[in-house]
Amino acid sequence: MPIIGAVKSYAFKVNDLELYEEVNYPESILKRMPDDECLNTCHLINQEATAHIGQLAPYGLVQQNLDDQETAADAFELLIPAYNVALAARKAATLQIPVMVRNIMTILRDQMDPLMLHFQNADPNLYAQYQNMRRIRNLGIRHRLNDSLVGRVTAQQDEAVVKGVRVFIVELNRWVETTELGNFRFPVVPDGSYTIRFVKENFETLDISDVAIIRSRPAVLNVEIDYETGLLSIPAEMQPDAEVENTTTTSKSKAA
């Protein structure tokens, strides 16, 4: 930024508007640029400064400053490929999470559940503990500071997460879709009592009325999809004191 400042001051002094515009990049703009674009911009600014270095000494800029800047830019350029590789690897790993969750649930359903039937009579306490652990559905949604309503949609048959379910706050005409991890969240919802609508194509729409949202504590609302009956429902252990209604839909729906 000192290089930009010096060149802009010089360009303004000599009324060189073209030079002024060539280097007129606020720090906030540079920070938002993609790495490659930012690097090219820094090189162009250095070239303009180098072309006028003889006139820039009164503005506190000497050749050593430009050389130091170019060295830093070259070092940054070497880091870009490694960063991009790491970013791609992280994205790929994130995309694998739902697949891994489904694989784990398949192992539990097809291998562990049948195996544990042996202990139903041999060790009832162990079998009961296993069944209780298998019923845990809250997989630890991270609440953000401004969250007002959060939840997750899972399959009733195997507890696999379900993406692409539209969740509406009917009174506010706001909606979101569940993510790859089956999660949804609504930030900054005014305190009040709302109807929350869950919509998925070819499934019955689920309306949950009188859901209380309080700013000081996010409400949690988890829902299950039954692929056999086409119903969406609230798990028994999370039934709220609210009215629940299912209505059939065979196409994408919008909140009323």
Q: Tens digits of per-residue pLDDT, 95-150?
A: 788 778 778 878 888 888 888 888 888 888 888 888 777 765 544 555 566 778 99
The answer to whether 249 and 203 have CB atoms below 8 angstroms apart is: yes
How far apart (Å, rounded) are the C-alpha atoms in residues 19 and 24?
9
Output the 3-class SS for 109-166: HHHHHHHHCCHHHHCHHHHHHHHHHHCCCCCCCCCCCCEEEEEEEEECCCCCECCCCE
Q: Tens digits of per-residue pLDDT, 213-250?
A: 887 778 888 998 887 787 888 765 555 444 555 554 43
pLDDT cut 90: percent of the chain above it: 12
Angle at 196 between CA 192 and CA 197, to 5 degrees: 160
In total, the chain counts a number of residues equal to 256
Residue 199 is predicted with a pLDDT of: 93
Q: In whole angstroms, how far apart are CA 201 and each of 45, 71, 196, 220, 251?
A: 54, 56, 17, 23, 5
Nearby residues of 170 by Cβ (< 8 Å), 6 or more positions away: 194, 195, 196, 197, 207, 255, 256
Residue 95 is predicted with a pLDDT of: 76
Which residue is associated with the tokens 């706001």?
174
Which residue is associated with the tokens 């995309």?
95
Considering the entire predicted model, what is its pTM?
0.42
